[in-house]
Amino acid sequence: MVLFKDGDVILGVVYIPPEYTAYSSPDAFGEIESEYLELSSKYENIFMVGDFNARTASEKDYIFIDENDKNNELECVSVNDVCNLNLFNIPIDRNSMDKGKNRYGNQLLELCKCNSLFIMNGRLATDIAGKFTCRNASVVDYCLCNVNFIKNIISLNVLEFSHLYSDVHCPLFICLNCNQSVKESIEQNNFTGQSNKS
């Protein structure tokens, strides 16, 4: 059994069909947000991975709130989650080799901003460039997480394309830090009546 220090982890595997196709849904990101809000009321550690068919370029996936800004109309702002990225030596701004954006990209960025989710592509040392994930031309496959889970992500790598895994997408390889707990199992020897520990 593998356990995380801070309790249960919710992993969301996402596939959003490309926009402007017969299978696209105008409210796909709204549905993801509803699920996220429901789950985040029960669980602290949440991350999502998958094909969002969203192109976000290197645009910000966060809103920085300066509590010292006199023009700031938000009251009682003490900690902005984006400031916590520095605690884990993760850059606030991210890189992407994909310079294009689409409508789904805007929706993904809004989802992140409104829910304090962060795109890990282009932020970790193992993918600091924000490598292409599709057709060697775009980034549409992402790993997103909330600030509580960031400390558990050791690395994210975009692997070489392989027909074994997909028709056009490169696999994402994510390495997580966890506590490994080995549970002792006791087998009862039916013939001798003795217990064997394995």
Three-class SS state of 11: strand
φ/ψ of 162, rounded to 5, equals -145, 130
Which residue from 120, 109, 116, 114 is spatially nearest to 142, judged by alpha carbons? 120
- How large is the C-alpha radius of gyration of the chain? 20
The gap from C-alpha 57 to its chain's centroid, in whole angstroms, comes to: 17
pLDDT digits (tens, 9 = 90+) for 20-65: 999 999 899 999 999 999 999 999 999 999 999 999 999 999 987 7
Q: Is 11 left (phi over 0), alpha (psi -120 to 50) or beta?
A: beta
pLDDT at 106 over 80: yes
Q: Which residues contact 87 (CB under 8 A, 6 or more apart)?
A: none
Decide: 57 and 94 in contact? Cβ < 8 Å: no
φ/ψ of 14, rounded to 5, equals -115, 135
Decide: 52 and 141 in contact? Cβ < 8 Å: yes
pLDDT digits (tens, 9 = 90+) for 85-101: 988 899 999 999 999 99
Q: Which residues contact 84 (CB under 8 A, 6 or more apart)?
A: 147, 150
pLDDT at 105: 98
pLDDT at 187: 45
Decide: 53 and 104 in contact? Cβ < 8 Å: yes
| Whole-prediction pTM | 0.83
Decide: 91 and 123 in contact? Cβ < 8 Å: yes
pLDDT digits (tens, 9 = 90+) for 158-183: 999 999 989 999 999 999 988 765 44
Torsion of the alpha carbons at 73, 79, 83 and 84, rounded to the nearest 10: -160
Q: Which residues contact 131 (CB under 8 A, 6 or more apart)?
A: 97, 121, 139, 158, 170
pLDDT digits (tens, 9 = 90+) for 132-147: 999 999 999 999 999 8
- The token duo for 24 is 């696209």
pLDDT digits (tens, 9 = 90+) for 110-127: 999 999 999 999 999 999
Decide: 63 and 163 in contact? Cβ < 8 Å: no
